[in-house]
Amino acid sequence: MNRLETAERLHQIYHALLKQFGPQHWWPGESPFEVCVGAILTQNTNWQNVAKAIANIKAAGCLNPQALLALDDAALAQLIRPSGYFNIKTKRLKQFLRFLVEDYGGDVRALAQVPVAVLREKLLAVKGIGCETADSIILYACELPSFVVDAYTYRIFLRHEMIEETADYHEIQDLFHRHLEKEVPLYNEYHALLVRLGKEFCLKSKPRCEHCPLYFFLPPRSPLRTP
DNA sequence: GACCAGGCACATC
DNA sequence: GATGTGCATGGT
């Protein structure tokens, strides 16, 4: 597939998804800070469980960096319990909160002033933040262009034979960065639509024609390689 | 009861 | 550098 064909295919898939599902209105958070918290809590976890955890944090009046940091680990773990892995996520959340408060005064808008490449490196240096979480914070909280790749993205584009089975996170991300307009709304909607496709048709749907832009049937769950 | 979900760090070979 | 494992709840 040459460069033009790849770009055309990526756009074709995007428009087919948008036509099928409509805008997804991501990220489902009321503030940039809430998006950051959600990005960490949703690691390998269903969003419904994360929503419960965030509701608990809100009910406790703690949805701000200072209040969350002031909680002791046991209390925070209890609040985020529904999101699973609550002990490890307590540590990860606090690592991020310290980073945010100490380096940026607890203000996500200040994060968004940092050049994308630099910001990404800084986020990845925080223990508990990997590629997907970093890109989610950059794209959905800071509204800067960094395409979010996840396990669904891998499975869908592997099935479309647009990536190799051995493709790692950055190879997949490069596919989108090279062939799509570097626009935040496009990156935002594309990733959200891929997740929607994955959720909707992962195991429920029969395979369709593999040349159809919406090739719903996914290969079995397999890990996305991260560097 | 098994399997899955919007990962990540760390141990081991 | 690749591969395996622990982390944990809630829905289907």
pLDDT at A145: 98
Nucleic strand C within 7 A of Cβ A89: yes
Q: Is the CB of A82 under 7 A from strand B?
A: no
Q: Is nucleic acid strand C under 7 Å from A2's C-beta?
A: no
Output the distance from A64 CA to C2 C1' rounded to whole Å: 40
Q: Does this model's pTM top 0.85?
A: yes
Evaluate if the CB of A222 falls below 7 Å from strand C: no
Ordered per-residue pLDDT tens for chain A, 227 residues: 887 789 998 998 999 899 889 999 999 999 999 999 999 999 999 999 999 999 999 999 999 999 999 999 999 999 999 999 999 999 999 999 999 999 999 999 999 999 999 999 999 999 999 999 999 999 999 999 999 999 999 888 988 889 998 899 999 999 999 999 999 999 999 999 999 988 887 544 444 444 444 555 445 455 566 66
Q: What is the DSSP track for A108-166?
A: HHHHTTS-HHHHHHHHHTSTT--HHHHHHIIIIIS--------HHHHHHHHHTTSS-TT
What is the predicted pLDDT for the residue at A208?
Answer: 44
The pLDDT value recorded for residue A45 is 96
Closest to A86 in 3D by CA, of A103, A96, A98, A73: A73
Per-domain residue ranges for chain A?
3-25+148-201, 32-141
Q: Return the closest nucleotide (C1') to the Cα of A169.
A: B7
A144 phi and psi, to 5 degrees?
-115, 150
CATH number, domain A32-141, options 1.10.230.10, 3.20.20.70, 1.10.340.30, 3.40.605.10: 1.10.340.30
Residue A46, nucleotide of least CA–C1' distance: B5
pLDDT at site A155: 86
